[in-house]
């Protein structure tokens, strides 16, 4: 069964009376070239298995099952396991786990399904939760060595920007703390059913062995980074002091201690500079 073929997808969906849920970010891939590339790029060969988020009707799951020892796919839509039982009937190494990726007990799931070994993540993410999912995976301290995901093109550009450059945002620095991000290839909106409003891109995050700078209090670090970008048109000084309610003179002194210009904008600061700034403020 060719799950990226438009007419096959249509007939499966009609057979099961399935209608797309916008709220669940359901845009299914119908371009046959995309899933094999994602499966090849996700590093399954170096992992005990692959965790997929949101299998839909299983187009990527099927490709993953061919390159991975084991695939565990978490799906929130309770209508889909029945469809997947049919579309993935030949894939003996796939387990569908019903649930919300943001709410599931991930440590227990990973332990039960994969033991302690390294796990690769590969997914065409539901776009309404891209950043929370990525941050949850990175913050979890679980053995996700690589995270290969499809996201909106503009989010990919932001995530993969170098910190300290114009395209960077709070999420760039937060992700950079944990992983090296790389944009692999773009995917046009025509590759999906239904077609979304924007183009997409596949990115790969490779977990770092150690963060680019030592940070004593991670929660305070992420609070500072988010505050710095909260008022993007303002200087880092104003955005941080306005958002955190910290005395302006104190923030100015900390910037000076770190050798950062008083009128610097947050997008010009590197991850290491944010770490130094936190130290100076503490």
Looking at the Cβ atoms of 55 and 163, the one nearer to ligand SAM is 55
Looking at the Cβ atoms of 75 and 267, the one nearer to ligand SAM is 75
Looking at the Cβ atoms of 99 and 143, the one nearer to ligand SAM is 99
CB 160 within 8 A of CB 148: no
CB 120 within 8 A of CB 44: yes
Q: Is 63 in the site for ligand SAM (CB under 6 A)?
A: no
Q: Would you call 13 exposed, middle or buried from its count of C-beta atoms within 10 A (0-12, 13-18, 19+)?
A: middle
Q: Would you call 141 exposed, middle or buried from its count of C-beta atoms within 10 A (0-12, 13-18, 19+)?
A: exposed
Residues from 112 through 131 that contact ligand SAM (CB under 6 A): 124, 126, 129
Q: Is 65 in the site for ligand SAM (CB under 6 A)?
A: no
Per DSSP bridges, beta strands 49-53 and 119-124 are: parallel
Looking at the Cβ atoms of 87 and 271, the one nearer to ligand SAM is 87
| C-alpha neighbours within 13 Å on the C-beta side of residue 257 | 15
| C-alpha neighbours within 13 Å on the C-beta side of residue 111 | 6
Looking at 96-104, 210-218, 242-250, 263-271, which segment touches ligand SAM (CB under 6 A)? 96-104
Interface with ligand SAM (CB under 6 A), residue from 47, 49, 75, 178: 75
Q: Kindly state the smallest distance separating residue 27's Cβ from ligand SAM, in Å.
A: 5
Q: Where along the sequence are the contacts to ligand SAM (CB under 6 A)?
A: 24-29, 53-56, 59-60, 74-77, 100-102, 124, 126, 129
């Amino acid at each position: 069964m060719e799950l990226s073929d438009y007419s096959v997808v249509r007939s499966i969906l009609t057979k099961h009376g399935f209608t797309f849920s916008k709220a669940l970010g359901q845009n299914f891939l119908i371009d046959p070239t995309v899933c094999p590339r994602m499966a090849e790029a996700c590093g399954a060969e170096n992992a005990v298995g692959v965790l997929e988020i949101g299998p839909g009707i299983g187009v990527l799951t099927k490709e993953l099952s061919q390159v991975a020892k084991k695939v565990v796919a978490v799906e929130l839509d309770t209508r889909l396991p029945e469809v997947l039982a049919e579309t993935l009937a030949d894939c003996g190494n796939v387990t569908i786990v019903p649930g919300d990726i943001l709410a599931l007990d991930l440590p227990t799931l990973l332990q039960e399904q994969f033991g302690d070994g390294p796990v690769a993540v590969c997914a065409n993410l539901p776009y309404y939760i891209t950043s929370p999912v990525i941050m949850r995976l990175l913050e979890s301290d679980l053995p996700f060595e690589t995270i290969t995901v499809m996201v909106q093109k503009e989010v990919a550009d932001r995530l993969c920007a170098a910190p300290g450059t114009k395209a960077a945002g709070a999420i760039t620095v937060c992700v950079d703390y944990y992983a090296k991000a790389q944009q692999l290839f773009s995917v046009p909106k025509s590759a999906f059913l239904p077609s979304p409003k924007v183009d997409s891109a596949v990115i790969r995050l490779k977990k770092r062995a150690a963060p680019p700078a030592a940070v004593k209090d991670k929660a305070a670090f992420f609070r500072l980074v988010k505050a710095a970008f909260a008022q993007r048109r303002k200087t880092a000084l104003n955005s941080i002091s306005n958002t955190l309610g910290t005395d302006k003179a104190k923030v100015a002194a900390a910037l000076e201690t770190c050798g950062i210009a008083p009128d610097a904008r947050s997008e010009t600061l590197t991850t290491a500079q944010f770490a130094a700034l936190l130290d100076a403020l503490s």
